[in-house]
Structure 1
Amino acid sequence: MTSDPIIFLIKTLANLYLFVVLLRLLLQLTRADFYNPISQGIVKATNPLVLPLRKFVPSVARVDSASVVLALLVQLATVAVVFLWVGYKADVSQYFIYTFVGVIYHLLDLYFWAMLISVILSWVAPTASHPGALLVQQITEPLYRFVRGFVPNLGGLDISPIFIFLGITFAKQMLAGFGVI
């Protein structure tokens, strides 16, 4: 949107926290190891804002609605601050579009990086027992499993990450047309 260093700083800090909130949501959706030290750090970093929201926003099935609402609120606050800083006049619908599209875009970005880490780890350290490697595997495996249902088995070669990367990149390019903050 602009090369203003203040906007860069605001977006970076907000997107880092949004990343942690979305990671918490993915950890819950994929039923990743709650006792993993990284999971515990994520929970501790997000609990101050998620727990008060849980009083008003109940969970729906396996989805922690409070985490979803928090992600949307963080993105909405980012959009509002950036718009105010640059003096952009937007109507309410634009705020909601930028917020919703931004959260989906960042969720896809999170999956992109998790997939990339997963692919690199499968080459370098396929049996890694580091807590971070285990969490990446637990987050990405449901997506791998889904895509493997459509991709033919090529013996020992798993090409499902290629299709996932293509899908994520395609979706991100489609969303970028709406504008992402």
Structure 2
Amino acid sequence: MNAMSFLISTVFDLYIMVVILRIWLQMARADFYNPFSQFIVKATQPVVSPLRRVIPSIGSLDLATVLFAYVLCVVKFVALQLVVSGGVAFGPEFLFIGLIALAKAAGGLLFWILLVRAILSWVSQGRSPIEYVMHQLTEPMLAPIRKILPQMGGLDLSVLVLFIVLQFANFLMGDLIGPIWYSL
């Protein structure tokens, strides 16, 4: 059961991250013609395009894509419950768990994007098209931290500060919600 649980969780997590990235790219108004952005759009377009015809956007928020990410989180939780316990008693709490899972996935995605950006900043030094998109996605969160915390010895510690905030939020949610948080 652990192997199947791992496989289901990994496949769902990867695709949920791609869908959340699409939402984030749109909200950040990132370069649409970047190869990384094109991959994200092409990976989600078959499902999002029909949903967009039915579900309108609200300002810059693509509600169809948000709903799709939310549904994926609920389906992931149901699939994991089926594998682990052999059955599921679907209830209204699953809708709340879907929101929690979506928030956790967004936080996890932010962590990985920050990590990739930090590694690319050491390796590619601005020559990678992926680094450009990572910059567009994370700069709105890192700029306010940089205003408070100046660079020390040429090192930008704003990513480290955001990592600490993310870890604190992760532990806090684990304390508030309990084992469900860690099972998502």
Alignment TM class, shorter chain as reference: 0.7 to 0.9
The structure 2 residue matched to 1:23, chosen from 21, 24, 28, is 21
Matches within 5 A, 1:1-181: 4-85=2-83, 86-87=85-86, 89-90=88-89, 92-127=91-126, 129-152=127-150, 154=152, 156-176=154-174, 177=178, 178-179=180-181, 180-181=183-184
Q: TM-score, normalised by structure 2?
A: 0.86
Q: Mind listing any 5+ residue stretches in structure 1 that lack a counterpart? A: none
Q: Cα distance, 1:160 vs. partner?
A: 1.3
Q: Mind listing any 5+ residue stretches in structure 2 that lack a counterpart? A: none
**Structure 1: distance between partners of 2:76 and 2:26:** 24
* Paired residues of 2:19 and 2:44 also in contact (CA < 8 A): yes
Q: Per-residue CA shift, 1:78-105, capped at 9, x if unaligned?
A: 1111122323655524312321111111
**Structure 2: distance between partners of 1:114 and 1:135:** 10
* Paired residues of 1:19 and 1:110 also in contact (CA < 8 A): yes
Taking every aligned residue pair, what percent have the same amino acid on both sides?
37
Q: Cα distance, 1:151 vs. partner?
A: 2.9
Shift in CA distance, 174/90, structure 1 to aligned 2, threshold 3 Å? farther
Q: TM-score, normalised by structure 1?
A: 0.88
Shift in CA distance, 126/98, structure 1 to aligned 2, threshold 3 Å? same
Partner of 1:58: helix, strand, or coil? coil
**Structure 1: distance between partners of 2:120 and 2:171:** 26
Partner of 1:55: helix, strand, or coil? helix
**What is the alpha-carbon root mean square deviation over aligned residues?**
2.0
Q: Cα distance, 1:4 vs. partner?
A: 2.3
Q: Cα distance, 1:131 vs. partner?
A: 1.9
Q: Per-residue CA shift, 1:119-170, capped at 9, x if unaligned?
A: 222223322x222222211111111113224334557442211210111111
* Paired residues of 1:72 and 1:100 also in contact (CA < 8 A): yes
Partner of 1:5: helix, strand, or coil? helix
Please, which moves more after superposition, 81-90 or 132-141?
81-90
* Paired residues of 1:101 and 1:175 also in contact (CA < 8 A): no
